[in-house]
Chain A
């Protein structure tokens, strides 16, 4: 007799093989569509900017830390592994962040953070030959190759991740989706130091490859996350004067959106 549990487990394990033919057919068409779509909206950059929205900010901001301190501690964290650390310490440590520098090989972002809400207030992004500077009043998008500055009369939210609260958001998400989180102390070869690795396990029934972005490296001293995947993080960095000022370069074409 097959039990309900067996049936549920079997359905979770269902998988089909996607052949090269379907893979290539869809992917090629997708990339063509994206290319076409990019050409169509080149002159409408402001629309693109507007949709870079932050979707999780408001609902978590005020109540999360209280709820998580109780719920996360009980249900999500495997405390037996490392009793000297609890994720609440990281959540608490992140509460006082006033600036974040996030960087990888080809990206550098400097955020000024409102410690009350965890929201970004200003940011500066250098990504290849494109510089974006956003202030509460204006957002400047400078393409150095084309020497074109696009100016939007509004603050355009930079990323969907709340860098200063992403552990809270992650814990909330894990709880919402019944995903187990745990942590362990480990020597990280790339960082060349011992770190706490906070890890989100794949969903039940998904035995797929572990996503490296689902492991967050936390500094045991400060309790702050220092990297995940290729992204490295620094907090409360001094913001150089003028970081969020933008001066239109001589000879640049200016487009008001």
Chain B
């Protein structure tokens, strides 16, 4: 946290190394969040790219209320939502394969873990976007329900309901109770 504030301070003063460190620190985290939201690695890369370019361009406008990690996750989530809306209008699908990896050691545990993550990722992609967004942003991005409520412009209760419905549906899909 303290490092982030110092990095941001230096970045705002034009320090390229600070920007590089911010990017390298959050690249995988943000790419994972975007991929989980979009279920499309290519689109997630584009979102990451656009989010960071906007971040670099608007250094002088940034007013950080919370922490940098949540701020960047929120930027990515906003762009993902815009993209989903745009694709929805154009009837384009984003359901291309998303590749998640496990950090389990050994080929067998890694294979089991990868298979589990693949199942979960496929299930996430089947959730309505509002629920998917809440589940991913809360669990993977680490945002609080209150922050997500602000992002979705709904009440905290609504966000909590979306989370419960989303998790229940995921459990049902993963356990084969819901036809995919």
Distance to closest chain B CB from A204 (angstroms): 9
| Interface magnitude class on chain B | 35 or more
Give the number of chain A interface residues (Cβ < 8 Å). 53
Given contacts A26-B49, A27-B20, A211-B3, contact A11 B9 (CB under 8 A): no
Q: How far is the CA of A213 from the CA of B25 in the complex (A)?
A: 13
The 8 Å CB contact of B60, one of A27, A41, A207, is A41
B154 at the interface (CB under 8 A from A): no
B67 at the interface (CB under 8 A from A): yes
The 8 Å CB contact of B19, one of A34, A48, A166, A173, is A34
Chain A positions within 8 Å of B49 at CB level: 22, 25-26, 29
- B residues 57-78 near A (Cβ < 8 Å) are 57, 59-65, 67
Distance to closest chain B CB from A173 (angstroms): 5
Chain A positions within 8 Å of B167 at CB level: 4, 7-8
Stretch at the interface among A12-20, A62-70, A83-91: A12-20
Given contacts A34-B56, A37-B57, A55-B63, contact A12 B20 (CB under 8 A): no
B27 at the interface (CB under 8 A from A): yes
Given contacts A12-B140, A177-B142, A229-B3, contact A47 B60 (CB under 8 A): yes
Chain A positions within 8 Å of B12 at CB level: 48, 51-52
Chain B positions within 8 Å of A229 at CB level: 2-3
B100 near A14 (CB under 8 angstroms)? Answer: yes
B36 near A11 (CB under 8 angstroms)? Answer: yes
Least CB separation from A26: chain B residue: B49
Given contacts A8-B167, A170-B2, A214-B1, contact A14 B57 (CB under 8 A): no
Seen from chain A, the residues whose Cβ lies within 8 Å of a Cβ on chain B are 1-4, 7-8, 10-18, 22-23, 25-27, 29-31, 33-35, 37-38, 41, 47-48, 51-53, 55, 159-161, 166, 170, 173, 176-177, 200, 203, 205, 207, 211, 213-214, 228-229, 231
Contact sample, A vs B, 17 pairs, CB 8 Å cutoff: A7-B174, A8-B167, A13-B102, A14-B120, A16-B100, A22-B31, A26-B48, A30-B19, A30-B23, A33-B53, A34-B19, A51-B60, A160-B5, A166-B2, A213-B6, A214-B2, A229-B3
Seen from chain B, the residues whose Cβ lies within 8 Å of a Cβ on chain A are 1-3, 5-6, 8-9, 12-14, 16, 19-20, 23-24, 27-28, 31-32, 35-36, 41, 44-45, 48-49, 52-53, 56-57, 59-65, 67, 98-103, 113, 116-117, 120-121, 124, 135-136, 139-140, 142, 144, 167-168, 170-171, 174-175
Closest A-B pairs by Cβ, 9 of them: A213-B3, A160-B5, A11-B139, A33-B56, A38-B14, A10-B120, A2-B174, A30-B56, A26-B49
